[in-house]
Every structure is written in structure tokens, then in C-alpha cells.
A and B are shown apart, each in its own frame.
Chain A
Amino acid sequence: MKRPLLWLLWGWMATVIVAAFHWAPLAEGFLGQSSRILFFHVPMAWVSFVAFMVAGVRSLAYLAGRRTERRDQAAAAAIEIGLLFALLATVTGAIWARIMWNSWWNWDPRQASIVVALLFYAAYLALRAAVADREARGRLCAAYATLGLVVAPFFYFVLPRLGFTLHPEAVINAQGKVEVEPRMLVVLLASSAGFTALFFWMHQLRTRLALREARLLEGSD
């Protein structure tokens, strides 16, 4: 990413943080300041989903088109970063659950489904480690991540709705209506956009690093 763009991203994220704590109002029905975690928790969960979809799309391109090292590494990098964000979403969720429900963890459908998503993509890394040959690894991992393209939406959007949940309504609820105070919505959208840009920046760095590592390991190419 070009330097001015990077500065813009930093400025944007700083503004989002300040706005989240000082400009956005508190949501009703939440204990203390706890609703403010929404501005970070929701974008993190969103970015993890975006990351897994990016991995799926790059993997599909790898399988259907030219099988380049770059596509393979880009998919792996997206999953690594996606796992990081999914973990952060899980931890922020647990912190909030401790405040609101007085317990870190209680297998709410949403907690259960993010754990399933985490395990699904952690297994991708296990698969990567278990296949030595580069060609076979690329092919098998790409097939698995492509499978993720169809099952991850299920983990994120269907599984959480099976069964009774205490989790607050998703921002866009089942009726497709947005029921959030306008200022909260602005901060939430700005934060989501910022985190998404942050992801693409991290992803680009990680992919470049992985490609260089692979080249170094192989010797000059």
C-alpha cells in the first residue's frame, strides 16, 4: 500500500476509536459502557468472514485457472489473518458476555458457530503442514478452502440462528431492517470499512512475505 494511503488508514482508524468512545451514544439495555465493544467486535467478525471468502475465491481461481504460487500463498495468508480476526471476535465476545451474562462462555449458538468456523480453518493449516509436496499441497488446500466458500456462510449466517440465542440481534436482523441509532451505525460502518482496509493491507504484506520465504527455502529460482 502506498504511504499516503497508509497514513489515511491510520487517521481513519484513530478517528473511529475516538468516535466509538466519545461520539457514539450508548445502546439501550446494555450494562455500563459495554455496548461500545460492538464497534470492534462486529467488524472483527465481519473481517474474518471477508478473509475466509478471499481465501475461497483465490483458491477457486487457483483450481480453475493457472495454478500459481501467488494464489496458493494468498489463500493461506487470508486464512491466517482470518483466524486472527475470528479469534479476536471470539475474545471480545467473551469479554462482553462476562459483563452482560456474567459468564465468559456458555455455548450460545453464536459462540458455538464461531468455534466451528475457527476449527474449520485451523484444520486448513493442519492440512497445509501435513502435505509435503508443493503441487499436492496447493491442490488439496485449495479444494478445502473452496469447500469453505460454501460452508463458511453456513457457519456465519445459518448455524447461529439454529436454536435459542441471547446474542443481540445481528445488525441487519432477520427481517432485513436496520435498527440501530444513526450515529452508532455511522461509527459501525466506518469501523467495518477501516478494519476491511486494514485486512487487505495486512494480507498483501503477509502474501509478499510468504512468497519470499518460499523462494528462499527453495534456493534461488
Chain B
Amino acid sequence: MPVARLAFEGLSRRFDRLVVLDRVSGKVESGGLFAVRGPNGSGKSTLLRCLAGLLAPDRGRVVAVEDGRALANDERRRRVGLLAPDIAFYDELSVSENLELVARLRGLPPASGRAVAERLGLPAARPWRALSSGMRQRLRWAFAVLHRPRLLLLDEPFQNLDDDGERIARALLDEHLENGGLAVAASPVSLPLPRISGELRLDR
């Protein structure tokens, strides 16, 4: 039996009169990666926000299972690791202070994020406001994996990363999948991704 499973059925979401998602379904299990492909504006981010529990779908449902136990909506929001372009951190706080805050909020030892931040080559003392876009993306990666989630949701995971950054991020993703985690990754181009076990194509 898989350690983790994520399934979504018939998800629909509209903003005012604009239908962004129309009855989409998919599923993925431990060790697998579910790829969401589509052009800009096709609803990839909306889908990931629904999966993370940040956005309620108009119709359809999301089932997340960890260790044979289905997660409630509120629980899922706290347990997933989400990486998304619109996640931002506190301007006034440094990289290490921001990660320390996240660790405390998650009930982990304050220094939990230090190792992954070093691995990602993040400048610990620099405030969020002074980070380049590539470094910001690296901090988003650190945020997403800090609590070792089983369910990793990646929206444009390698955006703005240089070669070095992409290599580290890909290594993090590989390790996550090897350790029995699952991932959903959204990207506009046909970016090469490891261990694709399922795919969804969205149109505008």
C-alpha cells in the first residue's frame, strides 16, 4: 500500500463568469509525479491552489491520503509543501529569520530550515526585499520542503533558477520521490520532469 496518495475528481472553478477549471481529474501515488501542462492562463495555478486547500473548488473533490488516513481540508493545507510564484516572505526579515518563523509555525525546531537553506546556497542574513528573483525561488523551495511533506505541489518549479539552482532543486525533487513522497508539478513548456506517472493537459 502506498504511503501517500492524492486524487482529484471533477474539479471546477470559475472566477466570476470566467471558467478556469472545468471538470478536471487525476491521481498520483507515492514515488510518482503528476505533470500538469498547459499554456499561460489555462488554470494550472488554480488547480494547484485547489489541491493545496487554499482555494475551494466550485465542484468536485480532492482526496489526500497519508499513511492510510484521509486528510481533512484544513489539515491538508498545513501538510502539503507548496511552491508557487505568488508566495512571498517578510520584507523586513532575513532569509534565516523567515525560515525560522516557518519552522516555529510548523512546530519544528527553529533551526530546521538551516540545512536545506545552505544546500540551496541561500544568503542567510539577506532580507527578502533584497533577494534576486532566483534567490527568491530558492527560498520558496526551502519553504516547500522544510517540513518534509509527503505531498509536494510545484507551480513552475524551476522558474528563474540558474543552472546550479535547477540542479539542486531537481535533486531535492528526486530525493522527495525516492523517499516515498509524491509530487504534482505544473509547467507551461514541455519541461523534462522525472518519474512522470500521470499527466493532465489544460487548454485555455
Contacts and interface: CB of A to CB of B under 8 A. Distances in A.
Interface in B107-121: none
B15 A218 contact: no
A135 B17 contact: no
A168 interface: no
Interface string A199-221: 00000000000000000011100
A133 interface: yes
Contacts of A134: 16, 58
Contacts of B55: 135
Nearest to B19: A219
B56 interface: yes
Interface string B31-62: 00000000000000000000000011010000
A135 B56 contact: yes
A219 B17 contact: yes
A134 B55 CA distance: 12
A71 to B, nearest CB: 15
Contacts of A132: 15-16
Contact of B58 (A135, A217, A219): A135
A132 B14 CA distance: 11
Contacts of A219: 17
B112 to A, nearest CB: 32
Contacts of A133: 15-16
Contacts of A218: 14, 17
B19 to A, nearest CB: 9
Nearest to A69: B58
Nearest to A219: B17
A217 B18 CA distance: 11
Contacts of A135: 55-56, 58
A134 B14 CA distance: 9
A217 B17 CA distance: 8
A218 B13 CA distance: 12
Interface in A188-202: none
A184 to B, nearest CB: 52
A132 B16 CA distance: 7
A9 B17 CA distance: 40
B45 to A, nearest CB: 15
Interface of B: 14-17, 55-56, 58
Given A135-B55, A218-B14, 12 more contacts: A67-B56, A132-B15, A132-B16, A133-B15, A133-B16, A134-B16, A134-B58, A135-B56, A135-B58, A217-B17, A218-B17, A219-B17
